[in-house]
Structure 1
Amino acid sequence: MRWTLKPKPDLTKVKQLAKELAIDTTLATILVQRGIETFEEAKKFFRPSLNDLHDPFLMKDMKIAVTRIENAIANNENILVYGDYDVDGTTAVSLLASYLKTIHPNIATYIPDRYEEGYGVSFQGIDFAEDNNFSLIIALDCGIKAIDKVEYATKKGIDFIICDHHKPGSEVPKAVAVLNPKQVDCNYPYNELCGCGVGFKLIQALASKRKQTIEDLVPYLDLVATAIAADIVPMTGENRILAYHGLKVINSTPRNGIKAIIHQLQKKELTITDVVFIIAPRINAAGRIQHGNYAVELLTEMDFEAAVKFAAAIEKFNSDRKELDRRITQEALLQIENNNEQENYTTVVFDATWHKGVIGIVASRLTETYYRPTLVFTKSGEKLAASARSVKGFDVYNALEQCSAYIEQFGGHKYAAGLTLLPKQYQNFKKKFEEVVSTTIDKNLLTPEIAIDAEIELSEITPKFFRIIQQMAPFGPQNMKPTFVTTAVRDNGYGKQVGTDNSHLKLNIIYGSDKKTYNAIGFGLGKKITCIQNDFDIAYTVDENTWNGYTSIQLLLKDVK
C-alpha cells in the first residue's frame, strides 16, 4: 500500500483555529485540510443544522415540477412514482410515495424488474402506466438518459418528471421537468446529492407550498441517510446535514421497515458504517434476488408486525445473495488465473450463468483483490450486461465513453457504472477497454493508497482528542475518519494472529519512554505478523472497543510497515 501524507495546510490558519476552538494543532490541521478554517465553519461542521439546507427552488425546473404535481392533485390524476431497484432508488420511491400519499390518494409505485426490464425507465413500465390510466410518472434515481422512453410516454399522453443525479449525456430527455443538479445549466449550490436526496428536495419544495417546515419532513430522513450511505456519495454539504439528522431518526424513531431490520440485529446505536454494511445490503438484496418491490413494501409498511415479516423475507434474500456472491467471486478469480490475466491493467470477466443481481458486488470484490478497473459480465436476454467498478482516482465512466463504439448503452458515476452490449462485441470491447485504461491510468493508482491525515505521537490520543474525532462523524467520501501514522512502535511480545483462519492481527503496542501499551487490531493483516519483530510503523484510525462491559480506546490498524 502507498502511504500518502496529506499536504500540511497554512500554519497560521491552523494556529488561529486551534486557538478559537481550544483544541490541539493536530485536530485543527485535520479541520483546515477539510476546508474548515473559521469558528463559524467549525460550528456548522460539528453541529449540522437543517436550517442550512438550500432553497429547493434554486434547482433548475423545480418550480415547473411542483406546478405539474399540484395540477395533477387538483385534477385528481393518477401519479406513478417510478424508481431504480437499488437502495437509492427504492428509498427514493418510498420517500416520495409516502409523502405524496399524505396529500393525494391516487399514488402508486413501480420498480422495474432487474431481469425482465433492466436498469432505469422501461417501455414496459410506461405501458403499465398507460394500461392503468397514469398521466404523470415521476422517475427517481434514473431517467437522465431515457430520451426514447420519455418520447414514447409523451406520444401516449403521459408526462414525465425526472429526479436523477447521474451524469447527463449531451442531450437530456424532453420531460416536463428534469431535476438533476449535475446538469451544466443548473445553478443549484450543491451537486453531489444522491437520487433520494433529489427526491427529498422535491418534497421540501412541495411542503413549502403547504406551509410545512423542515421539521415536518424529519421523519423521512432515515430513508435519505440510508441512501446517502449506500450510494457512497461525498459526505459534505447537504449530504452531511441530511445524513447527520437521518442517523438520529434511525437511532430514535425509524420507520417500521428500518426498525424491523434493526430489531433482528439487536444492535443499539447504529453508525453510518452500520447503515452501509447492515441496513443497505438487506434493502439491496430484495432487488438483487427477488424484486425491488419487496424493499418498497418494507419501507412504506405502516404495521410493525407486517414489516417484521417483510424483513424476515429480505433476510433470506440477503443470505442467498451472500452465497451467490461467494461462489461467483471464486469462479471469477479462477477465470482470471486460467486466462493468465493477473498482469492486465483491467479485469474483465464473463459467464452467461452468473446471477445478474450480484455482479456489482463481485466487481467490487475483484477490485479489492487485483486493485484495477473491473467489469463483470453476464447474459441478460439477447445481450450481455455488466457492472463496472473502479479504483480511487480513475474515472471508469470516462473510460467507458471512449469504448462507446462497442456498447449498446451505459450510465453511472466516476467509480461505478453499468452497461449492456451485444455478445459479438464482447471481445472487441474487452480489448478496447484494456487499451484505454493502460494508456490513460496513472500507474500509481494501481496500488491502493492510504491517505494519512497526520503523523502523531500515541500520547496525543486523549479522551478529549477521541471525543472530537467522534464528533466529526458521519464519515464518508471527502470526510473520511482521520487516519494517523505513528513510527517506531514496538509490540510487547504478545502480538498474535487471530480469527478462524489467522487472518487478523492483534497487538499490544508499546510506545514512548513511559512504556504505556495500546490495544490494536488489524483486520485482514494477519500476514503482517512478520513485520513486528523489531520497531515498525503503523497507519490506523482511532476507535473504541467494548469488552465485558468495559470500553477502551483501540487502534484500528490499516497497515503495518
Structure 2
Amino acid sequence: MRWTLKPKPDKEKIEGLQKALQVDSITATLLVQRGIETYKDAKLFFRPSLKDLHDPYLMKDMDKAVARIEQAIANKENILVYGDYDVDGTTAVALMSSYLKTKHNLIYTYIPNRYDEGYGISYKGINFALEHEFSLIIALDCGIKSVEKIAHAKTLGIDFIICDHHRPGDTIPDAVAVLDPKQEDCEYPYKELCGCGVGFKLIQALALKDGKTAKDLTEYLDLVATAIGADIVPIDGENRVLAYFGLKVINTNPRSGIKAILDKVEKTSLTITDVVFVIAPRINAAGRMKHGNYAVSLLTEEEPDMAAKYAAEINDYNLDRRETDKQITEEALKQIEEHNEQDRLTTVVYHKDWHKGVIGIVASRLTETYYRPTLVFTKSGEKLAASARSVRDFDIYNALEACSEYIEQFGGHKYAAGLTLEEKNYEAFKQAFEAEVSRTIDRNLLIPEIKIDAKIDLKDITPKFYRILKQFAPFGPNNMTPVFISENLIDTGYGKCVGEDKTHLRLTATQPESSSRMVGIGFGMGDKFTMISEVKPFRAVYSIDENEWRGNVSLQLKLRDIKKQK
C-alpha cells in the first residue's frame, strides 16, 4: 500500500473557517479539503435541506418529458416503465411506476432478461411493447446509446423518454425527451446523478405541476438513497441531499420491501455503507440469479406479508449468488496463475460457462487481488459478454473506447463498464486492451493507495471530535470517511491475532508523549502482528468508529494499514 497524505489546505482558509464555526483546526482542515470554506457552505453540508435541490426544469428536455407523460395520461395511453436489471435500474423502475400509478392506472413495468436480452433497451422489449399496445416507454438507467433501437421503435409508433446518467455517444437517440445531465448541451448544475436520481427529477417535475414540492416525495427517497449507494456515485451536492434524506426514510419508515430485507438481516440504524453491503446485494441478486422483476415486485409491494415472501426468495438468490461468485473467482485466479499472467498490467479472463450474473462481482474481486484494470468474460448467446472494473484514477471507459474496433457494444463509467464482442475477436481485444493500458496508465496507479486526510495524535480523538465527524456522513466518493495517520505508536502488550482463523489484528496503542490509549482493530491484518510486538514503535493509518460491547460504546481505531516507524 502507498500512503498519500493530502496537501494541507491554505492556512488562512482553515483559520477563517475555524473562527466562523468555532471548531478545532483538524475539523476545519477536513472541511476545507471537501470544498467547504464558508459558514454558508458548512450550513449546507451539515444541515442538508430538500430546498437545496435544483429546479428539475433546468435539465434539458424536462419540459418535453413532462408534456408527453401528461398527454399519455390525458389520452389514457398504456405506459411502459423500462429499466435495467441492476439496483439502480430496478429502484428507478419501482420509483417511477409507483409514482405514476398515483396519477394513472395504465402503468406497467419491464426489466430485460440479463441472459437473452442483455443490458439496456432490447428489440424483445420493444416487441413486447408493440404486442401489448404501449405507445410510450419511459427508459430508466439505460437508453442513451440505444440509437438504432429507439429509431426502430419510432417507426412502430412507440415514443421513448430516456432517463439516463451514462456517458452519451456521438449520436443522441431520437426520443421524445432525453434526460441525461452528462449531455454536453445540458446545463443542469449537477452532473453526477444516478439513473434513479434522474428518475426522481422527472417525478419532481411532474409533482411541481400539481403544486407539490420535493418534501411531498420523501417516501420515494429510500429508493434513491439505495441506488446512490449501490451505483457508487459521488455523495456531494444534490446526491448528498438525496442520500441524507433517503437514509432517514430507510431508518424510520422504509417501504415494505426494504423493511422486509432489513427484518431478514436484523439490522438497525443503517449507514450508506450498510445500504451498499446489506440492501444492494439482495436487490441485485434477483437480476443476477433469476430475474430483475422480482426486485421490482419486492420494492413496489405494499402488503407486508407478500413483501416478506419476496424478501425470503431474494435472500435465497443472494446465498446462491455468493456460492457462485466464490467458485468462479477461484477458477479465474487459477486461470491467471496457470497462464502466468500475474505480471501483466491488465487482467482479462474468460470461460464459456461462467454465470453471467456474477461476472461483475468476480471482476471486482480480481481487482482487489491483483489491483489492475480487469475484465471477466463469459459466453452470452453467440457473443462474449464482459464486466469491466478499474483501479482508482484510471478511466477504463476511455481504454475500452480505444479498443472499440474489436467491440460490438459497450457502455458504462470511469470505473465500471460492460461490453460484448464476437468470440473471434477475443484474443485480439485482449492484446489491444493490454497495449492501451500499458501505454496510458501511470504505474503508480497499480499500487493500492490510501489517501490520508490529516496527521493527528491519539489525544485529539475525543467524543466531541467524533460527534462532529459523524455529521460528515453520508460518506462516499468525494466525501469519503476521514482517514488519519498517527506516528510513534506503541502497543501496550495486549496486541494479538483474533478471529476464528486468527487473521485479524487487535491492539491497544499509546503514544509515549501522551497518556491516551486507543484500541485498534485491523481486519485481515493478522500478518502485521510482528510489526507491533516487542514494543516496537509503528505508524498507523486508520478511520475512527464506535465499538459496542455488552452495552458499552467506546471509540476505536479501524486500522487500514500499519508500517514500522521510520
TM range (shorter): over 0.9
CA distance in 1, matches of 2:317, 2:86: 14
Match of 2:97 in 1: 97
Quote how far apart the aligned CAs of 1:513 are: 3.4
SS in 2 for 1:378: strand
Match of 2:164 in 1: 164
SS in 1 for 2:545: strand
Choose from 526, 532, 542 the match for 1:540. Answer: 542
SS in 1 for 2:134: coil
SS in 1 for 2:490: strand
Matches within 5 A, 1:72-471: 72-471=72-471
Quote how far apart the aligned CAs of 1:496 are: 1.1
2:557 is the alignment partner of 1:559:
no
2:513 is the alignment partner of 1:513:
yes
Q: Confirm or deny: 8 A CA contact 2:458 2:510 kept in the other structure.
A: no
SS in 2 for 1:37: coil
1:34-71 per-position Cα deviation (integer Å, ceiling 9, x unaligned):
10000110010001110000000000000000000000
CA distance in 2, matches of 1:124, 1:149: 10
5+ unaligned residues in a row in structure 2: which ranges? none
TM, length-normalised to structure 1 = 0.99
Q: Confirm or deny: 8 A CA contact 2:459 2:514 kept in the other structure.
A: no
CA distance in 2, matches of 1:284, 1:557: 30
Point out the more displaced range, 417-426 or 525-534. 525-534
SS in 2 for 1:543: strand
CA distance in 2, matches of 1:245, 1:69: 27
Quote how far apart the aligned CAs of 1:501 are: 2.0
Quote how far apart the aligned CAs of 1:514 are: 4.1
Q: Confirm or deny: 8 A CA contact 2:458 2:516 kept in the other structure.
A: no
Q: Confirm or deny: 8 A CA contact 2:87 2:280 kept in the other structure.
A: yes
CA distance in 2, matches of 1:416, 1:530: 37
Q: 1:274 is aligned with what amino acid?
A: D
Quote how far apart the aligned CAs of 1:517 are: 2.0
CA distance in 2, matches of 1:65, 1:316: 39
1:448-507 per-position Cα deviation (integer Å, ceiling 9, x unaligned):
010000000110011110001000000000100000000110111121111222221111
Quote how far apart the aligned CAs of 1:528 are: 1.1
Q: 2:62 is aligned with what amino acid?
A: M
SS in 2 for 1:76: coil
1:226-254 per-position Cα deviation (integer Å, ceiling 9, x unaligned):
00000000000000000000000000010
Q: 2:98 is aligned with what amino acid?
A: S
Match of 2:52 in 1: 52
SS in 2 for 1:4: strand
Quote how far apart the aligned CAs of 1:265 are: 1.5
CA distance in 2, matches of 1:500, 1:331: 25
Point out the more displaced range, 185-194 or 494-503. 494-503
Quote how far apart the aligned CAs of 1:267 are: 1.6
CA distance in 2, matches of 1:9, 1:427: 48
1:5-33 per-position Cα deviation (integer Å, ceiling 9, x unaligned):
11111101101101111110011001001
1:268-294 per-position Cα deviation (integer Å, ceiling 9, x unaligned):
211111000000000000000000000
Q: 2:185 is aligned with what amino acid?
A: D
Quote how far apart the aligned CAs of 1:512 are: 3.5
SS in 1 for 2:377: strand
CA distance in 1, matches of 2:264, 2:204: 32
CA distance in 1, matches of 2:58, 2:449: 37
1:409-463 per-position Cα deviation (integer Å, ceiling 9, x unaligned):
0000000000000000000000000000011100000000100000001100111
Q: CA RMSD in A?
A: 0.6
CA distance in 1, matches of 2:172, 2:503: 49
Match of 1:502 in 2: 502
TM, length-normalised to structure 2 = 0.99
5+ unaligned residues in a row in structure 1: which ranges? none
CA distance in 2, matches of 1:252, 1:191: 29
Q: 2:49 is aligned with what amino acid?
A: S
SS in 2 for 1:135: strand
CA distance in 1, matches of 2:254, 2:263: 11
Quote how far apart the aligned CAs of 1:530 are: 2.1
**Count of residues in Structure 1 that have an aligned counterpart in Structure 2:** 561
Identity %: 67
